[in-house]
């Protein structure tokens, strides 16, 4: 029975250990993150962003951030662990080593007369003849009598001095950390023990695995539904114009699950009348177009109208019942747009190329949603080739201000950004009639805007040139500069109600054939990940080229320095196509800012496969042609694409125009 009690006493220790294994390291990690959390502000501080309340943490919000469900659960588990430690400490007396002096209440080294005197007193209190209590009898036999024997009997005392127990050497015992009710020897405990083992060790893990598998089968790794991936992949088309990307975007399964209530009919009708000019409807057949629009699935109608509400900034027109749906649509929009981008650039042909035109459309849709800019604002005007959209993302800027500023040789946001700060302030105050406070807001946003440059090289590792069929390695350094000195930043987006990280897409594409040869997502926020990626890529490249360890270390150190100074390393491989000269374009597209995208032309010469070991140069004699922000008249094919790209939102027949351009480009290659 004593052994059973000792085993039962081990059960709290076992439970405490199992609890401590995950809780202690999790708590340490949580505290470390809280202590080392960056205090540097990387979001916009203009009055519009401040007024939006998106980045303001109130006292109640701070309290709610501390008293979260996870923190409360963690605290509760720690309370349970402390109680168990206290309980185990009180149980420790049951498993203490045998000490006869302590049992008899004597000091070590007491005389035999004192031992006998103390024994007589305890006998009067605990002896069965004096005290009928079974517990007293048990204590007298197992402790008092043995303690007296150990101190008075020569043999028992010798055993105690040698082995620590009057009965001599004790056998080695192994306890089972299970509660006592599972260790009863009456025969009924075996069934309880079996049920406990089957339930905890078999059924519980199986149930957890079944729940996990059922959820994972519905969602992909980036928390997007598998049905959405399938819809996006199948609906994506090579000639999909940016203005038509919306039709694919709203067909996400997540949006289809948003309930459409009968009470939403009237508010949606009002939104339709308000946004009709932005819905890409044919005004010549407006009645037919309206009927066609309302024949769509109700969830699609709702999603499209709510997205256009964001683009047109018509937030006041939302009914209370639509506001929660509006927030749900916007919250998951960046995640869906990233998946849609991947579906655009995913390899579609034997050469492993994706599609450029829809990829650009996805990025432009993302920019419009984050900055709340309508598609109509992207239409080029006689003065503004990019339309008024890039200016509308700046605070206090509207069409009236743009009309005043545009004649003063400010045609793009880039030109406004590159102006001298004093001249810019004079222009905005004197010409646009803005106040000093409003100009300060504009200056703060311009200081947040990224200015991009990049260097690109293509080569076949270990060879002097590129021949058809070679595996070509592209290496690029993308550099960002901001007026406020930040490297990574949260974009100015006062009309987007959620936290949105700034991301960029690097594309190597053939604009004439609408093919994306290589794509990669670039972020300037996670410096540690960028350092690791650049170091590994440089080290692998140097070792593959047979460089020494010293040269490799020097190259890695240089790459780490570039990353920390505001650059990101992009590396990828693609197979060289058939021999010929290819006029490629490298794009760096921002998913959050308008007017910050950059492109560079890259003329690549692919040689025919030869049997000789010596290779000819892959580039022209003057070297590879890499020029930033090329003019449209430098290359005929690029000119055709640029003209088409600039008029995406002003032309209604994008697909026909795209087919004509593709036919012309094919003739030129012939």
φ/ψ of 18, rounded to 5, equals: -60, -40
Mean pLDDT for the stretch of residues 537-547: 82
Q: Helix or strand or coil: residue 141?
A: helix
Q: Which strands, in side-by-side order, build the sheet including 354-355?
A: 354-355, 515-523, 503-510, 580-590, 598-606, 625-628
| Element containing residue 457 per DSSP (H, E) | strand 451-459
Q: Helix or strand or coil: residue 219?
A: strand
- pLDDT band at 190; cut points 50, 70, 90: low
- Is 641 contained in some domain? no
Mean pLDDT for the stretch of residues 472-496: 92
CATH assignment of the domain containing 129: 1.10.287.110
- Is 507 contained in some domain? yes
Mean pLDDT for the stretch of residues 12-23: 85
Instruction: Please check whether residues 458 and 559 belong to one and the same domain.
Output: yes
> Given this model, what pLDDT does residue 464 score?
80
Longest Cα–Cα distance of the chain, Å, equals: 121
Point out the least confidently predicted range of 51-55, 343-347, 479-483: 51-55
CATH assignment of the domain containing 621: 2.60.40.150
Q: What percent of the chain has pLDDT over 90?
A: 42
Instruction: Please check whether residues 130 and 247 belong to one and the same domain.
Output: no
Ranges of beta strands (E only) in 2-75 are none
- Sequence-distant (6+) residues with CB within 8 A of 243 are 280, 361, 375, 648, 649, 654
Average pLDDT over the chain, rounded to whole?
A: 82
Statement: residue 594 has pLDDT above 70? yes
> Given this model, what pLDDT does residue 188 score?
54
CA distance 376 to 370: 16
Mean pLDDT for the stretch of residues 3-8: 51
- pLDDT band at 626; cut points 50, 70, 90: very low
Tokens of 394: 């700046």
Task: Provide the domain limits for residue 196.
Answer: 184-218
- pLDDT band at 617; cut points 50, 70, 90: very low
The gap between the terminal CA atoms of the chain, to the nearest Å, is 96
Statement: residue 489 has pLDDT above 70? yes
Instruction: Please check whether residues 493 and 604 belong to one and the same domain.
Output: yes
> Given this model, what pLDDT does residue 648 score?
46
- Is 563 contained in some domain? yes
Instruction: Please check whether residues 198 and 152 belong to one and the same domain.
Output: no
Please, where are the H alpha helices in 283-355?
Answer: 286-294, 298-312, 320-345
Statement: residue 1 has pLDDT above 50? no
Statement: residue 46 has pLDDT above 90? no
Give the Cα-Cα-Cα angle 523, 526, 527 (nearest 5 degrees). Answer: 105
Statement: residue 619 has pLDDT above 50? no
Instruction: Please check whether residues 323 and 201 belong to one and the same domain.
Output: no
Q: Given the DSSP bridges, would you call strands 503-510 and 471-481 parallel, antiparallel or unpaired?
A: unpaired
- pLDDT band at 186; cut points 50, 70, 90: low
- Is 116 contained in some domain? yes
Instruction: Please check whether residues 382 and 518 belong to one and the same domain.
Output: no
Statement: residue 649 has pLDDT above 80? no
- Sequence-distant (6+) residues with CB within 8 A of 117 are none
> Given this model, what pLDDT does residue 465 score?
85
Ranges of beta strands (E only) in 555-635 are 567-575, 580-590, 598-606, 625-628
- pLDDT band at 611; cut points 50, 70, 90: very low
Instruction: Examine the fold and report which residue of 350, 377, 392 is the final residue of a domain before the chain moves on.
Output: 392
Q: What is the pLDDT of residues 275-308, one digit of tens each?
A: 988 887 877 888 888 899 999 999 999 999 999 9
Statement: residue 661 has pLDDT above 70? no
- Is 436 contained in some domain? no
| Element containing residue 456 per DSSP (H, E) | strand 451-459
Q: Helix or strand or coil: residue 597?
A: coil
- Sequence-distant (6+) residues with CB within 8 A of 326 are 306, 309, 310, 318
Instruction: Please check whether residues 200 and 146 belong to one and the same domain.
Output: no
Statement: residue 382 has pLDDT above 50? yes
- pLDDT band at 443; cut points 50, 70, 90: very high
CA distance 484 to 501: 17
- Is 74 contained in some domain? no
Tokens of 473: 């390695």
| Neighbouring-strand partners of residue 545 | none
Higher pLDDT, 530 or 18: 530
Statement: residue 202 has pLDDT above 80? yes
Instruction: Please check whether residues 544 and 570 belong to one and the same domain.
Output: yes
- Is 400 contained in some domain? no
Ranges of beta strands (E only) in 487-630 are 503-510, 515-523, 567-575, 580-590, 598-606, 625-628
Point out the least confidently predicted range of 56-60, 375-379, 411-415, 525-529: 56-60
Tokens of 339: 């998946």
CATH assignment of the domain containing 291: 1.10.3380.10
- Is 7 contained in some domain? no
Q: How many domains does the chain have?
A: 4
Instruction: Examine the fold and report which residue of 134, 163, 192 is the final residue of a domain before the chain moves on.
Output: 163
> Given this model, what pLDDT does residue 383 score?
76
**Given phi > 0 = left and psi -120 to 50 = alpha, else beta, which region is 515?**
beta
Cβ(104)–Cβ(144) under 8 Å?
yes
Instruction: Examine the fold and report which residue of 218, 239, 262 is the final residue of a domain before the chain moves on.
Output: 218
- pLDDT band at 94; cut points 50, 70, 90: low
Statement: residue 331 has pLDDT above 50? yes
Instruction: Please check whether residues 358 and 377 belong to one and the same domain.
Output: yes
Higher pLDDT, 152 or 230: 230
Statement: residue 452 has pLDDT above 60? yes
Instruction: Please check whether residues 212 and 234 belong to one and the same domain.
Output: no
Instruction: Please check whether residues 206 and 257 belong to one and the same domain.
Output: no
Statement: residue 183 has pLDDT above 70? no
- Short-list 620, 309, 600, CA closest to 452: 600
Instruction: Please check whether residues 155 and 191 belong to one and the same domain.
Output: no
- pLDDT band at 624; cut points 50, 70, 90: very low
CA distances from 155 to 141, 151, 164, 167 (A): 18, 10, 13, 9
């Amino acid at each position: 029975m004593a052994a059973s009690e000792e085993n039962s006493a081990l059960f709290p220790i076992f439970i405490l250990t199992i609890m401590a294994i995950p809780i202690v390291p999790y708590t340490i990690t949580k505290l470390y993150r809280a202590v080392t959390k960056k205090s540097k502000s990387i979001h916009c501080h203009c009055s519009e962003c401040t007024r939006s309340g998106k980045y303001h943490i109130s006292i109640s919000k701070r309290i709610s951030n501390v008293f979260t469900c996870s923190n409360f659960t963690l605290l509760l588990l720690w309370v349970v662990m402390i109680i168990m430690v206290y309980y185990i400490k009180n149980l420790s007396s049951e498993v203490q080593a045998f000490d006869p002096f302590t049992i008899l209440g004597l000091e070590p080294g007491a005389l035999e007369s004192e031992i006998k005197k103390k024994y007589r007193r305890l006998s009067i209190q605990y002896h069965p003849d004096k005290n009928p209590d079974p517990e007293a009898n048990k204590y007298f036999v197992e402790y008092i009598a043995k303690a007296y024997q150990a101190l008075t009997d020569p043999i028992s005392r010798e055993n105690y001095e040698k082995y620590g127990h009057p009965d001599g050497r004790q056998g080695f015992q192994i306890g089972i950390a299970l509660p006592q009710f599972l260790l009863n020897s009456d025969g009924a405990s075996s069934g309880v023990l079996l049920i406990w083992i089957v339930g905890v060790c078999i059924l519980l893990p199986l149930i957890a695995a079944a729940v996990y598998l059922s959820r994972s089968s519905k969602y992909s790794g980036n928390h997007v539904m598998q049905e959405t991936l399938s819809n996006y992949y199948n609906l994506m088309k090579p000639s999909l114009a940016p203005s038509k990307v919306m039709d694919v975007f709203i067909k996400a399964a997540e949006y289809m699950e948003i309930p459409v209530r009968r009470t939403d009919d009237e508010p949606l009708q009002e939104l339709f009348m308000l946004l009709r000019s932005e819905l890409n409807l044919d005004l010549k057949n407006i009645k037919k177009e309206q009927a066609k629009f309302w024949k769509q699935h109700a969830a699609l109608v709702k999603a499209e109208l709510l997205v256009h509400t964001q683009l047109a900034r018509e937030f006041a027109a939302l009914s209370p019942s639509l506001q929660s749906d509006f927030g749900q649509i916007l919250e998951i929009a960046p995640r869906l747009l990233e998946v849609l981008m991947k579906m655009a650039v995913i390899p579609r042909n034997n050469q492993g190329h994706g599609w450029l035109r829809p990829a650009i459309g996805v990025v432009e849709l993302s920019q419009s949603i984050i900055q709340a800019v309508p598609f109509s604002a992207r239409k080029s005007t006689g003065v503004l080739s990019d339309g008024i959209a890039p200016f509308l993302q700046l605070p206090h800027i509207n069409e009236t201000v743009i009309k005043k500023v545009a004649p003063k040789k400010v045609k793009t946001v880039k030109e406004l950004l590159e102006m001298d700060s004093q001249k810019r302030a004079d222009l905005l105050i004197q010409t646009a009639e803005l106040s000093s406070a409003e100009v300060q807001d504009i200056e703060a946003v311009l200081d947040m805007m990224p200015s991009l440059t990049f260097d690109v090289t293509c080569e076949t590792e270990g060879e002097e040139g590129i021949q058809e069929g070679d595996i070509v390695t592209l290496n690029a350094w993308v550099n960002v500069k901001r007026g406020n000195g930040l490297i990574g930043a949260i974009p100015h987006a006062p009309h987007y109600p959620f936290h949105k990280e700034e991301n960029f897409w690097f594309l190597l594409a053939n604009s004439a054939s609408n093919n994306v040869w290589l794509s990669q997502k670039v972020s300037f926020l996670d410096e540690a990940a960028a350092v690791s990626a650049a170091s590994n890529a440089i080290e692998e490249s140097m070792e593959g080229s047979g460089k020494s360890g010293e040269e490799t270390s020097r190259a890695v150190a240089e790459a780490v320095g570039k990353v920390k100074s505001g650059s990101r390393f992009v590396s990828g491989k693609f197979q060289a196509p058939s021999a010929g000269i290819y006029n490629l374009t490298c794009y760096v597209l921002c998913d959050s800012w308008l007017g910050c995208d950059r492109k560079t032309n890259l003329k690549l010469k692919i040689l025919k496969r030869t049997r000789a070991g010596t290779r000819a140069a892959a580039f022209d004699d003057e070297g590879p042609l890499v020029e930033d922000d090329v003019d449209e008249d430098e290359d005929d094919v690029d000119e055709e694409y640029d003209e088409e790209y600039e008029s995406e939102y002003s032309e209604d027949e994008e697909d026909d125009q795209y087919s004509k351009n593709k036919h012309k480009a094919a003739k030129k290659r012939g």
